[in-house]
Amino acid sequence: MSRRCSLPFVISLATLAAPALAQHAFDPARAPADDASILLAPEPYKTYRGHSLIRAVIRDHTEFNRVLAISGDCWTHTPRLEQPIDFLIPPGGLHAIRALGVSFDIIEPDMGEVVAAERARLNAPQTRGWYDDYKNLEAISDKVDELVALRPDLVSRFIVGPSLESRTIFGFRIDSPTPGPAGTIKPVIYIHATQHAREWLAPMTTMYVAEQLIAGYATDPDATAFLDKFTVIVVPVVNVDGYVYTWTTQRFWRKNRRNNANGTFGVDLNRNWSYAWGNNNGSSGSGASETYRGTAPFSEPEAAGLRDHILSTPGIILAFDIHTYGPLILSPWGYTASPPPILPYFNSLGLLMQSAIASVNALTFTSGQWYSTLYPASGANIDWWYGDQSVLNWTIELRGGSFAPPPTDIIPSGQEIYAGLLALAQTFCRADYNHDAFMNGNDYDDFVVDWIGALPAADYDRNGFVNADDFDAFVVEFEQGC
């Protein structure tokens, strides 16, 4: 969830009560590939009938607690006072909110109608294009298989690992035959999405971007140049259990499906990463909170499995974590207001992506450091990538005004992120070793010093070793000017 915030007053959601829901029993049966409909399990489904989505400005902690007591479901995670905060309000609650004298706007008068229309549409025969509506986990898996069959010379499927409920977290690798510089590993861009289950636009956008690259290779010059420069790894759904649960039982479920053994369910996977884990400034130790960080770093198999796959993949230099809703381009840090040492470099590339995205549909994404642009978040994936792995990365919060954007947002969202990634790929240069947005003798000198000292930063091809291959690869790219 995204909302621009800058005030230092952060409200804890530790007291936010989550319903004690029975865990979903997974039906492993898959629909036939030629089935024209999307099958939803016949389980009790939360209708959200009469629930309203409002955006309120809260003046103090007492007022927040009173609104929360009426709502029970705050959609702005780590909200701040006197900044817009989204609440889902149950039937009859609007009158009570007005009685408090709270200023608010109604974003959706009846989320039940939104959910019912979405559910009816998804259960109807699907005769349109794949990106014309949202797809469940099985359909996304089938689409990956389709891409592999379409271009087996470029695409290969892999398994990240099992989820808490023993589903398979899957991904795919897109790799052209063009080698890396001086015969080394080609730099890798790692894209993963849907740590938060209800953010359905995230996997669709990720799949769209990947398919544009795959279908365009050798025919479209931009896609060809992208894949000749980078290998791309995609994990479209990290939170597979939660994602299935949003299709079968509760549309706006966020966390994974951990039974916390205290009447609450779920861990926020994007607070379960080890870097700055346990900091109450942007996460919660309460299982009732939507930002519950779990009992320990990587306590959840989904986060641990993704970590292990990342660590086993050499060559990663850029990473993206795709979420909704924004629209935002966020760079480290999330856990502190202190800037990272290369914040100007992050900002320059963020603004580059912002400009490219805006050129597509005239939608301007806000770009900046997570903490000051969005809200505090500790134990988040974005800080682990940079703080633990020294990988440049961004969290992208896609377009949309709720967690149920219309399906007409899917293709525009894909077009926007594709344009942003193309612009980054055309500009990014590993040989800008000191990340000052200029490539000159300082980069060469800094690299040589680190290489002679066998420092991890000089592992240019990021394969776990500092050796002559790193020096050769750096020199090739430095002389080429990228």
* Non-local CB neighbours of 258 within 8 Å, separated by 6+ positions: 164, 265, 266, 267, 294, 300
Backbone angles phi, psi at 113, to 5 degrees: -65, -40
HEC secondary structure over 70-117: HHCCECCCCCECCCEEEEEECCCHHHHHHHCCCEEEEEECCHHHHHHH
Q: CA triplet 288, 292, 294: central angle to 5 degrees?
A: 115
- C-alpha–C-alpha distance, residues 46 and 334, integer Å: 33
* Non-local CB neighbours of 46 within 8 Å, separated by 6+ positions: 249, 250, 251
The residue among 1, 153, 173 whose CA lies nearest residue 76 is: 1
Other Cβ atoms less than 10 A from the Cβ of 54: the count is 23
Q: Is 369 helix (H, G, I), strand (E, B) or coil?
A: strand
Residue 259 burial (10 A CB sphere; 0-12, 13-18, 19+): middle
Residues assigned a catalytic role:
397
E strands in 255-353:
316-323, 328-331
Residues 442 and 461: beta-carbon distance below 8 Å = no
Strands of 84-89's sheet, edge to edge?
Answer: 84-89, 52-57, 103-108
Largest Cα–Cα separation, the chain: 71
Residues 191 and 232: beta-carbon distance below 8 Å = yes
Give the side-chain half-sphere CA count within 13 A for 379. 29
* Distances from the Cα of 125 to the Cα of 121, 122, 143, angstroms: 8, 8, 18
For the record, the structure tokens of 96 come out as 């009570």
Backbone angles phi, psi at 350, to 5 degrees: -65, -45
Q: Measured in whole angstroms, how far is the alpha carbon of residue 198 from the centre of its chain?
A: 12
Residues 443 and 432: beta-carbon distance below 8 Å = yes
For the record, the structure tokens of 472 come out as 């050769």
Scan for tokens 């549309």, then name that residue: 251
> Which element (helix H / strand E) includes 235?
strand 231-235
